[in-house]
Amino acid sequence: MKDFRECTVYEIYPKSFLDTNGDGLGELRGVTRKLDYLKELGVDYLWLTPFFVSPQNDNGYDVADYRRIDPRYGTMEDFEELSREAARRGIGLMLDMVFNHTSTDHEWFRKALAGDPKYKAYYIFKKGKPDGTPPTNWESKFGGSAWEYLPQFDEYYLHLFDKTQADLNWDNPEVRQEVADVVRFWMDKGVRGFRFDVINLISKGAFEDDDRGDGRRFYTDGPRIHEYLQELNQRTFGRDPGIITVGEMSSTTMENCFRYAGADGRELSMVFSFHHLKVDFMGNEKWVLVPTDFAKLKEILFSWQSGMAAHDAWNAVFWCNHDQPRVVSRFGDEGTYWKQSAKMLADVIHCLRGTPYIYQGEEIGMTNAGFTDLSQYRDVESLNHFQILRDKGMSEESAYNILKVHSRDNSRTPMQWTDGENAGFTAGTPWISVNPNCRHINAESQVGDPDSIFSHYRALIRLRKEYAVISRGDFAPLDQADPAVLAYRRRWKGDTLYCINNFYPKPCRWTCPEPLDGCTLLLANYPDARPGQTLELRPYESLVLLRREES
């Protein structure tokens, strides 16, 4: 059985991974085809974003049937083959379960629409206010009201995301039973892990107007959330200690995460939190352009590291996923220091306390989409928010510039396998444009190159398995006030690890507040790096140092 602290998870967005049948969409067979590449990288688990039957209004996060595979992604036989072939290479599959909501095409919602009271009770229907406006002023995460009116009932239903993603009513025990049955169905198919989509939104509290925000404080980490997670755990994955779980926690608090991801294993193995990725937002508002607040980034990363460690709770650590812009474009450099910055950002994450997650293409330093025309955008969230910004009077150019930075499509362009036609992703027309920089950013050119970003990620994955100080060590920030350097220390038994990073293109001098005698270099992103008490750090320079005490 694998210890998830020593593991690395790789996220695959199948639609953009590899197309093997020329329809322009990636599918499960494409993943199977690339298992040797993933094995070479060294990852332990593949998190596959949803490939279940779905109208694809939110690329599969709108599930219409939890037990069937959308024909666009393949068949159950394709899934079984992938699972078998992955297992043969020591890789486990993690499925992405979307249980906060279903597609309005789901049979349950269709029955609800037909007036069946059993299924109406699966969702959240409410009367409007006396003046006919929605029950509360809550906003959908994708823009507009979170309520959709149905004239046949003179009622609204709740959708925290798109109006085709209706929120399930977890207070109904029948819904919780259905969910557990689905989880068991996939456990029986040999799945080794689950990622639970926006799972901390499932327990709704009071349905009241929010005079301070968009409504999230009424349904985030809601009143019965821990009870529901413990129940699901006991009914399903908690019975198999080999299964790992990660919860996507939207706008959560650390106190709740101590419980979600506690070492007692009563709820989940680990959690994704997102506060460190809001440092280029204005509060919770992402559709703005503001510079990255580096001090805040450090403060958030470090306080979560220390806080979770102090409570023996476990983080999933990451920069990238299918909802985030590419990190090298966001916090690094797409130009001169592309390679150095991509490696530095990798070191920052992979030496932390937590299980690291890599998002497809991150390991070769893929950049933001670089779209040049609005018609290239596909994501419902981007398109809705573009319209909202325009309706507020913003010029098309300004709204477009915001999309360029924050759109989720930045990470959804096809995986860049080669420097050839469509980056080797498809022989057909890709569903979303390929980034033309595949000419110089592609997997083929990096796999055999010992100096590549790919090789650097592979080294980090190995080091985590080799050195318990990385997988188990404690955590302490170093020189938190420094305006350019992000540095921390980890300790385990006789070993001490230092991870020291210049986060900027400007060279800087940095003196470690702790003596570094006896340290040797474990990894660096410049070939001639040298440890020293005072370091002249070059642009984006990163050093990982280790001291071992003789025992």
Catalytic machinery residues: 197, 248
- Interface residue with ligand GLC among 11, 44, 58, 221 (CB under 6 A) is 58
For ligand GLC, the closer of residues 249 and 544 by Cβ is: 249
Strand partners, 499: 488, 544
Q: How far is the CB of 96 from ligand GLC (least distance, A)?
A: 8
For ligand GLC, the closer of residues 109 and 503 by Cβ is: 109
Strand partners, 489: 476, 498
CB–CB of 545/500 below 8 Å? yes
Task: Say whether 126 sits in a helix, a strand or coil.
Answer: strand
Element (H, E) at 302: helix 294-310
For ligand GLC, the closer of residues 197 and 495 by Cβ is: 197
Q: How far is the CB of 122 from ligand GLC (least distance, A)?
A: 17
Q: How far is the CB of 178 from ligand GLC (least distance, A)?
A: 18
Packed helices 453-466 and 338-350: angle between N→C axes, nearest 10 degrees = 20
* Contact residues for 528 (Cβ-Cβ < 8 A; gap 6+): none
Chain-centroid distance, C-alpha 21: 28
Q: Tokens representing 529? A: 């790096």
For ligand GLC, the closer of residues 146 and 198 by Cβ is: 198
CB–CB of 10/56 below 8 Å? no
DSSP per residue over 521-551, as a string?
EEEESSTT----SEEEE-TT-EEEEEEE---
Q: Does 333 bind ligand GLC (CB under 6 A)?
A: no
- Interface residue with ligand GLC among 47, 51, 52, 61 (CB under 6 A) is 61
For ligand GLC, the closer of residues 198 and 327 by Cβ is: 198
Q: Tokens representing 266? A: 């009563």
Tell me the C-alpha distance between 196 and 272, whole Å.
10
Q: Tokens representing 539? A: 């642009």
Q: How far is the CB of 381 from ligand GLC (least distance, A)?
A: 7
Q: Does 161 bind ligand GLC (CB under 6 A)?
A: yes
Binders in 80-99 for ligand GLC, by CB under 6 A: 98
CB–CB of 13/96 below 8 Å? no
For ligand GLC, the closer of residues 186 and 488 by Cβ is: 186
DSSP per residue over 420-464, as a string?
SGGGGS-SS--SSPPPGGGGTS-HHHHHT-TTSHHHHHHHHHHHH
Q: Tokens representing 370? A: 């670089």
Q: How far is the CB of 323 from ligand GLC (least distance, A)?
A: 5
For ligand GLC, the closer of residues 219 and 503 by Cβ is: 219
Q: How far is the CB of 108 from ligand GLC (least distance, A)?
A: 16
Q: How far is the CB of 282 from ligand GLC (least distance, A)?
A: 20
Q: Does 323 bind ligand GLC (CB under 6 A)?
A: yes
Q: Give the contact letters, 298-317, x = binds to ligand GLC (CB under 6 A), - = no.
A: --------------------
For ligand GLC, the closer of residues 382 and 422 by Cβ is: 382
- Interface residue with ligand GLC among 198, 320, 453, 529 (CB under 6 A) is 198
For ligand GLC, the closer of residues 322 and 464 by Cβ is: 322
State which residue has the least CB distance to ligand GLC: 61
Q: Give the contact letters, 5-44, x = binds to ligand GLC (CB under 6 A), - = no.
A: ----------------------------------------
CB–CB of 482/525 below 8 Å? no
Element (H, E) at 40: helix 35-41
Tell me the C-alpha distance between 203 and 224, whole Å.
6
- Interface residue with ligand GLC among 44, 167, 197, 334 (CB under 6 A) is 197
Q: How far is the CB of 379 from ligand GLC (least distance, A)?
A: 9
Total residues at interface with ligand GLC (CB under 6 A): 9
Q: Give the contact letters, 233-252, x = binds to ligand GLC (CB under 6 A), - = no.
A: ---------------x----
Q: Does 155 bind ligand GLC (CB under 6 A)?
A: no
DSSP per residue over 341-385, as a string?
HHHHHHHHHHTSSSEEEEETTGGGT-------SGGG---HHHHHH
Q: Give the contact letters, 352-391, x = binds to ligand GLC (CB under 6 A), - = no.
A: ----------------------------------------
Q: Tokens representing 167? A: 């929120």
What is the Cβ-side half-sphere exposure of residue 512, based on CA atoms within 13 angstroms? 24
Q: How many CB atoms lie within 10 A of CB 433?
A: 20
Q: How far is the CB of 61 from ligand GLC (least distance, A)?
A: 3
Q: Applying CB under 6 A, which residues contact ligand GLC?
A: 58, 61, 98, 161, 197-198, 248, 322-323
